[in-house]
A = this chain, B = another copy of it.
Amino acid sequence: MSGTDKTKAGHDLAGPVVILVEPQLGENIGMAARAMGNFALTRMRIVNPRDGWPNEKARIAASGANYIIDDARAFGTLDESISDLNWVAATTARQRDLRKPVLTPEQAIAEMRTRIGRGERCGVLFGRERNGLETGEVAHADVLIMIPVNSRFASLNLAQAVLLTGYEWMRGDAGRSLGRVTTYEKPLEEGLYMGRDRPATKEELIGLFEHLERELEEKGFFNPAHRKTVVSQNLRTLLTRMNATEQEVRTLRGIVATLAQGKGRARRGGE
């Protein structure tokens, strides 16, 4: 806790990306930016904002934190917004019937700190002001974050959820600086990865999923068609939970290609 390099620049870069999914009001985007600014988070992404992007109301509401709004990137789909990330947490206000770990903000931030320390890119998804995230959207996340609130009065708004996440980031970081992140404790799961591979990006994982889905579709796996949504979500959850490396995703694509292409040697890589 002492004698560490407290340079600011490094700290700014280290934080998780904040991803707002279909936010409705520009004011709320601006308030979320302020909450980020309070705790030195800087990277905001916005998926399909209702009122378009850029949004002058968001800039005004962000006040001193409009540097965050100015740097924010807008995406048409959730998939695109997380494609370069390695690990994604989804904030949720309610229990869901998904087989995903549910973490406190503290636990999720600790995990992100470990991952960021070894060079991974992490993000946190925040849902719409009214309805939060849809189940299909949550399926892409590695874990859920549930903020422990009073079950009788659980109405956190978007900016508050961002604020508490940012607070955890800075709280856990108190007294440390980014210069030392690399020296953080070795992750427990490190031994799980085969060899020295890097974790797959979401883009690679989504590529695998879409490849598999295409082949299954062609072979009639999703008949009757109404099965498809649920089965697809479950598959995404399952594949996400594997925590695969880039090499493993390629192997799995090779397996899908081999199985789907009938007898004989199949193309092995997924590329």
Taking Cβ atoms with an 8 Å cutoff, the residues of A that contact B are: 8, 34-35, 37-40, 63-65, 95-107, 111, 143, 146-156, 160, 163-164, 167, 170-171, 174, 178, 180-181, 183-184, 186-195, 197, 212, 215-216, 218-221, 223, 231, 234-235, 237-238, 241-245, 248, 251-252, 254-256, 258-266, 268
Q: Which residues of B contact A171 (CB under 8 A)?
A: 104-106, 148
Shortest Cβ distance from residue A240 to the other chain B in the assembled complex, whole angstroms: 9
Q: Which residues of B contact A261 (CB under 8 A)?
A: 219
In Å, the complex CA distance between A212 and B150 comes to 45
Would you call B111 and A234 a contact (CB within 8 A)? Answer: no
Would you call B221 and A254 a contact (CB within 8 A)? Answer: yes
Would you call A265 and B107 a contact (CB within 8 A)? Answer: no
Would you call B148 and A219 a contact (CB within 8 A)? Answer: no
Would you call B223 and A153 a contact (CB within 8 A)? Answer: no
Shortest Cβ distance from residue A262 to the other chain B in the assembled complex, whole angstroms: 6
Q: Which residues of B contact A197 (CB under 8 A)?
A: 99
Partner of A8 from the list B102, B146, B147, B152 (CB cut-off 8 Å) is B152
In Å, the complex CA distance between A54 and B23 comes to 35
Known contacts: A163-B160, A184-B104. The answer to whether A194 contacts B259 by CB under 8 A is: no
Among residues of B, the one whose C-beta sits closest to the C-beta of A96 is B194
Given A100-B194, A212-B255, A231-B251, 13 more A-B residue pairs with CB atoms under 8 Å apart are A38-B149, A38-B154, A38-B160, A97-B194, A99-B191, A102-B184, A148-B170, A148-B181, A160-B160, A167-B167, A191-B241, A234-B251, A238-B242
Would you call A264 and B219 a contact (CB within 8 A)? Answer: yes
Would you call A189 and B191 a contact (CB within 8 A)? Answer: no
Partner of A258 from the list B104, B174, B219 (CB cut-off 8 Å) is B219
13 contacts between A and B (CB under 8 A): A38-B160, A97-B194, A98-B195, A99-B195, A102-B192, A143-B188, A146-B184, A151-B178, A219-B259, A219-B261, A219-B262, A219-B264, A256-B259
Among residues of B, the one whose C-beta sits closest to the C-beta of A107 is B184
Among residues of B, the one whose C-beta sits closest to the C-beta of A105 is B171
